[in-house]
Chains A and B, each alone.
Chain A
């Protein structure tokens, strides 16, 4: 019994040509498999990479909704500075999603690079109990709230960095700087306030 194929001359083993062909076929097939795998890994990486704009879009959506729901409400005044914003609004409490009037505070923490958020009901905002904040956004390098108002004396529309007033301004702009895709980006969102003016 001989297991090796008998060669042309009756000797066992492969010829050089056979070996060369086999080696080239193996190389070709492994190249094809490798490139398919590599492509798949690249696609998977791309699809699972986080897009910072996605988080910002979601945050701006919520932020805009809260700010548009602000009201002229004497117990809670609208207060704003460069890195802090307090306003009365319709606040969603709990996971069940019960909406009630309350106060929302946004405050930027430069150490953590996070925008923190407090949701207070009326009694908490009266007593000044702030409680534990939640992180509304993280990975923020710098942040600036700006306030748009109509100056009655000069009859002009102006932007201010502070809003000590009781009533809401015409609009609030949030400008923030973040690092995404290895480069610094600036993103801004302006929300008009319907009850103002």
Chain B
């Protein structure tokens, strides 16, 4: 018999050496780590998207109110910051508006939302302009 299994040719012992097994498990571990990393990033992106969806409509409405008030009276009388509950999560918001440049009657509005997620904060922000109009 000339045919022999290739592993037998080196030492005559069957099986893998310790080095071979260690190298193989190290490569496998690296692969698993990268796959998990990809999965966690995907989940993070999904989470951000979900939170964005749940809060974006509220932001649109807030911006609309500020725009409406600024364009009709030229002053924003609403609150500048506050908190509300969305999905049992406390969301803090800040709204800043002021004149934009030298143009009279042009205002800029900045709305910023922050809420904790895990051990870090997620921020969402939105900006808009408002032009005051006179009604006869």
Residues of A within 8 A of B (CB): 43, 46-47, 51, 53-54, 56-57, 60, 150, 155, 157, 171, 181, 187-190, 192
Contacts and interface: CB of A to CB of B under 8 A. Distances in A.
Interface of B: 39, 43, 46, 50, 53-54, 56-57, 60-61, 64, 68, 72, 87, 135
Question: Chain A: interface secondary structure?
Answer: mixed
B46 A47 contact: yes
Contacts of A53: 53-54, 57
Given A43-B39, A150-B135, A181-B87, A57 B64 contact: no
Contacts, number: 34
A75 B123 CA distance: 48
Question: Chain B: interface secondary structure?
Answer: helix
Contacts of A181: 87
Nearest to B69: A157
Given A51-B54, A192-B68, 7 more contacts: A43-B43, A53-B57, A56-B57, A57-B53, A155-B135, A188-B57, A190-B60
A57 B57 contact: yes
A143 to B, nearest CB: 15
Closest 5 pairs (CB-CB, A-B): A53-B53, A190-B64, A53-B54, A188-B61, A187-B57
